[in-house]
Structure 1
Amino acid sequence: MNFEEMKTKIATGEGFIAALDQSGGSTPKALRGYGVGDDEWSGDDEMFARIHEMRSRVITSPCFGNGKVIGAILFEKTMDGEVDGKTTADALKARGVVPFIKVDQGLADEQDGAQMMKPLDKLPALLEKSVNAGMFGTKMRSVIKSANPKGIADVVAQQFEVGNQICDAGLVPILEPEYDITADDRAEGEKILLDELMKGLNALPEGRQVMLKLSIPVEPGLYTPAIEHPNVLRVVALSGGFSTDDACEHLAKNPGMIASFSRGLLQDLRKDLSDEEFDAALGKAIDQIAAASN
């Protein structure tokens, strides 16, 4: 797939985007969930080798290429690795899956009820490498923890500022201002978030498109204005800690949003499953998430 083919797939494809981008501190937890104990690896290299084994097994599973997964978000080391003797990006494209790369460098300390991204000092080099690797887009995460207008505005402003740098490099950014689903004031804060997102979208040059990755809103359909905005290629939903069943139930109430789940996709996979059992568990999750997305 070339860039325009990938763009069409993301804009119009029926299915969802898999989030395979656990990194740093979240990797041991992901491995434990898969059945790999902390005593089964030593040091970052072994840790990332084990998580790459898991991701490779997911990507090469027959059901992953059945057309219901239209995109996948990768961690940098996954992009740098190989699957079936091909670069990970090429292996995904061969299965009809559009590759994205996680570009943020983690979260700063909470301020004004939000955690912005740490300075992205490695971004220019990573964008150049990602373009050369044939990636389509990027993803970067901030977290909102309360309905503090300043904190929300600061998070969104940073997302759009970096997003414009990514567009300039020739990639499509997924802006992810996640709203903590445990926040008591989430319904109020999500309305503030929508207002800030619309300001940012309206300020983009004509023809410049971004994607949005958002927590499934308390109020169904809240993000319809963003979904319909001409500067938005697609709006995807994160599972945010919901189980697969709960995330799919909430997502199905929001037409126009498709899933970009991590835990919701991988929660029932274990390393000791046979290939048949592994494919059955993954296929069940893929079918459920795709149905909720469509």
Structure 2
Amino acid sequence: MNRYHGIELSERHWFPSSLFGESVEFLGYFENISNIFSTVAPLLRHALDRSGTSAVIDLCSGGGGPWPRLAREMKRQNGLCPSVLLTDKNPEAGLLRNCRIFSSNGDTIACSSQPIDARNVPADLDGVLTFFNAFHHFSPREAHDILGNAVSTGRGIAVFEATERSLFSIIQMIFTLPPLVWVLTPFLRPVRFSRIFFTYVVPILPLVITLDGVLSSLRTYTPEELRRFAGNCDGTVYTWRAGSIKSFRLPRKITYLIGYPLHRVKKDGLHSKADPHPTNTKKTCYEKGVG
């Protein structure tokens, strides 16, 4: 299936910001309670270790995504409790609404109140860059530039997508998302009349979330396409790993790409050494025609 870079309804300039915020909050809530990304914890641990840091800069965080539960999952699996900074280009939409909830849970999670563009991450933000269900929002050129910026600044990067560009994924979105919105909405906090109204009385939110889910599937990159983007235009040796991993909560696999310097710098008390088993180490630049 060819990739289609359609603009999601909630991204259009005329879409009400209040409804956009409700959509973002629902998606963040679902990613957190479903724990669909629990199986990527070892991959994240590997990326952090090879990058020589325990700090994470999560980009395009939306409503917070999977991090509240994922951070605890990483601590349970291997004892690492990462320090996570959640960022977004529009933090007012959903991120800052939920930041108090993250803090009350005792997690090492903070939220940036400043707008952060994933295509131009400030140099003073140090850590492994992560994207959860967000990388498909960028065009092929933007995706390549994001990876190139990570390389030029010596940061590790980890991309995870729970969507898939396939007919099965699209059909699943159509038949499962509306019931999920109707069932889970009463559990979202705080309760808002607008959310209830636009979910049950005038069901705009289930419709928008479903259509955006379909478009997200059509925009999702395959592991092969991510490998093509994974480049090293400045000549620095980076290790890239792309593939798919099973999710215990989804009938489809999670696509991933992780990258880190082959020779990492000692940070945060971690030992510095080269990756003894480099996989798909490349010095390739962007290849045209993808997407």
TM over 0.5: no
If asked which structure has higher relative contact order (CA below 8 Å, sep 6+), I would say 2
Question: TM-score, structure 1 length as denominator?
Answer: 0.31
- Structure 2 length normalisation: TM-score? 0.31
